[in-house]
């Protein structure tokens, strides 16, 4: 098998012709015969470069409104023929099939067409058939043929042709074949996801290009890579490269802040909120969020849902944090925040994160619909004789939003739309409450008048008993325990208010 191959002929069929000029001029300079199709042929001719229309090779015009142009034995035979196979050589001679050594394709933009929200018929017409078949054929025969599957790789092709004067070796051809199958795999997955729609097809398929190699994974001895387009979610305007742990915290922070409409600040640490507050003025929301746990806030991720003004930035700048994410910043605020060169400053964008989430597990993947449900007072069942007053109801809503995003088992204590303390990730619910009470007392919060939210039901009455002893008199929980009545009876006996939502919010 010959390793080095001289390119004598090329077939070009591209959707994106913007960067084609340098390629075809170089091919012409190297004396490479160019075959081309339809609009690509016309474009090359307009550049003053000689090319042969593929119709003259196949003796068939483009038919069916352009759906069939290259699907012909004289095209695919020239690509798939094994150059040192005598039987293949005989067929090529018998049927007058010319060898094609280089295939350059840029597919119809199916994915962009779907995103544009055009009609179903237009989307279907943007499913490329001939182009993707050319790519697959050329990639299969990478022993003899070089395939360039996208305009994205034109620059790399130019460098290769210039450095080797129109020749390639097996390593070159194999690398481009890998890129080709990566692209066709992604293209087919996008088509499958669109066509499938709501059909009950239980096959897990994901194709996420654009890898970003991170400094390391969760720990320095682990490798880390992010797959996706972060610039669709936020714009980084300052600071060092974002780390694996930063991304995990940012994801959790976005999930929590999306629950709030009024000006709210969240301090996130290891995917759990250590400070949350909602206030009419953002600076007050920041101060009260920080007060919830000023120790844990050190090195945290900050997120808010309002424009950061200069007054707020001056307060934020007093502590060390790694990341801040906000929809906008006043000029004076940015000037202040940029004084630390490594501080990561992000501008959030509106983005649809989809309805499902998944993660690797054992030897497979588990997938579920996202927990997008959030109960409001109209959904509650008042289980006790006394009902929450207006302030308690507001705080119960606030606390319930937060506990939904805590790791289970979880308790959130809140007062006046401020997270007073959280009990997070405990093996029992009463332990989560004890943790929250201890933390609240550490930072000298008065729990009298605070409310308690639980992510799941109370299996016993011990949690409401302990809460009552600390001055907490309003509780929100899903309900559903066989022993719910014990908690209800205790609350009634001690003039507590308790509502059931009917929705559990486990998070692991």
Summarize the confidence of residues 386-395 as an average pLDDT: 96
pLDDT band at 199 (very low <50, low <70, confident <90, very high): confident
pLDDT for position 1:
47
Between 147 and 210, residue with greater pLDDT: 147
Q: What is the maximum span of the chain, computed from C-alpha positions, in angstroms?
A: 98
Q: Cβ contacts of residue 23 below 8 Å, gap of 6+? A: 12, 104, 154, 157, 158
Quick one: pLDDT at residue 2? 57
Give the residue-averaged pLDDT of 257-269: 97
**Residue 202: pLDDT over 90:** no
Q: What are 440-467's pLDDT values in tens digits? A: 999 999 999 999 999 999 999 999 999 9
pLDDT tier at 61, thresholds 50, 70, 90: confident
Q: Which residues contact 482 (CB under 8 A, 6 or more apart)?
A: none
Give the pLDDT confidence score for residue 444 in this predicted structure: 94
Q: Parallel, antiparallel, or unpaired: how do β-strands 321-326 and 300-304 relate?
A: parallel
As beta bridge partners, residue 9 has 33
Q: Is 373 a catalytic residue?
A: no
78 and 98 in contact (C-beta within 8 Å)?
A: yes
Please list the helix, strand and coil fractions of the chain in percent, rounded to the nearest 5, in that order. 40, 20, 40
Band of the pLDDT at 391, cuts 50, 70, 90?
Answer: very high
Q: What is the mean pLDDT of residues 255-270?
A: 96
**Does position 38 have pLDDT exceeding 90, yes or no?**
no
H-helix or E-strand spanning residue 277? strand 272-278
pLDDT greater than 80 at residue 307: yes
Active-site residue flag, 270: yes
> Of all residues in the chain, what percent carry a pLDDT higher than 70?
99
**Mean pLDDT (whole number) for 55-63:** 74
Helices 130-140 and 170-196: angle between axes, nearest 10 degrees: 140
The single residue of 25, 140, 164, 340 carrying the catalytic annotation is: 140
pLDDT mean across residues, the chain: 93
Catalytic residue of the set 186, 238, 270, 434:
270
Whether the predicted pLDDT of 427 surpasses 60: yes
What pLDDT score does 57 carry? 79
């Amino acid at each position: 098998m010959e390793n080095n191959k001289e390119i004598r002929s090329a077939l070009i069929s591209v959707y994106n012709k913007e960067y084609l000029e340098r390629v075809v001029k170089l091919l012409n300079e190297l004396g490479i015969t160019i075959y081309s199709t339809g609009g690509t042929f016309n474009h090359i001719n307009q550049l003053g470069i000689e090319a042969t229309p593929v119709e003259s090779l196949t003796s068939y015009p483009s038919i069916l409104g352009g759906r069939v142009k290259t699907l012909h034995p004289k095209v695919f035979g020239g690509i798939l023929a094994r150059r040192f196979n005598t039987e293949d050589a005989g067929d090529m001679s018998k049927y007058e099939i010319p060898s094609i050594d280089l295939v350059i394709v840029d597919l119809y933009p199916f994915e962009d067409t779907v995103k544009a929200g055009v009609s179903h018929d237009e989307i279907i017409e943007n499913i490329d058939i001939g182009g993707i078949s050319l790519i697959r054929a050329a990639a299969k025969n990478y022993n003899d043929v070089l395939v360039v599957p996208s305009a994205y790789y034109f620059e790399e092709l130019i460098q290769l042709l210039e450095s080797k004067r129109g020749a390639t070796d097996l390593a070159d051809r194999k690398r481009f074949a890998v890129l080709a199958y990566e692209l066709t795999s992604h293209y087919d997955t996008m088509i499958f996801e669109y066509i499938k729609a709501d059909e009950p097809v239980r096959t897990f398929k994901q194709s996420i290009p654009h890898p970003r190699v991170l400094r390391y994974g969760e720990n320095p001895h682990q490798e880390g890579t992010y797959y996706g387009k972060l610039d669709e979610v936020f714009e980084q305007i300052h600071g060092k490269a974002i780390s694996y742990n930063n991304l995990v915290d940012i994801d959790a922070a976005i999930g929590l802040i999306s629950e709030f409409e009024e000006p709210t600040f969240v301090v996130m640490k290891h995917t759990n909120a250590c400070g949350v507050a909602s206030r009419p003025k953002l600076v007050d929301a920041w101060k009260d969020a920080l007060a919830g746990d000023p120790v844990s806030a050190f090195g945290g991720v900050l997120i808010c849902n309002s424009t950061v003004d200069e007054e707020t930035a001056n307060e934020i700048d007093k502590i060390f944090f790694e990341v801040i994410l906000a929809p906008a910043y006043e000029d004076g605020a940015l000037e202040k925040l940029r004084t630390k060169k490594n501080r990561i400053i992000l501008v959030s964008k509106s983005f649809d994160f989809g309805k499902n989430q998944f993660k690797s597990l054992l030897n497979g993947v588990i997938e579920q619909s996202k927990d997008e449900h959030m109960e409001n007072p109209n959904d509650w069942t008042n289980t006790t004789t006394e009902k929450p007053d207006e302030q308690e109801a507001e705080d119960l809503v606030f606390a319930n939003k937060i506990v939904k995003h805590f790791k289970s088992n979880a308790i959130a204590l809140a007062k006046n739309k401020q997270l007073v303390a959280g009990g997070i990730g405990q093996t029992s619910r009463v332990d989560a409450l004890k943790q929250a009470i201890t933390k609240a007392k550490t930072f000298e919060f008065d729990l009298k008048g605070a409310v308690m939210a639980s992510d799941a039901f109370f299996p016993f009455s011990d949690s409401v008993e302990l809460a009552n002893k600390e001055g907490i008199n309003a509780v929100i929980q899903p309900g559903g325990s066989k022993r719910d009545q014990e908690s209800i009876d205790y609350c009634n006996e001690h003039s507590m208010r308790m509502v059931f939502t009917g929705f559990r919010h486990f998070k692991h």
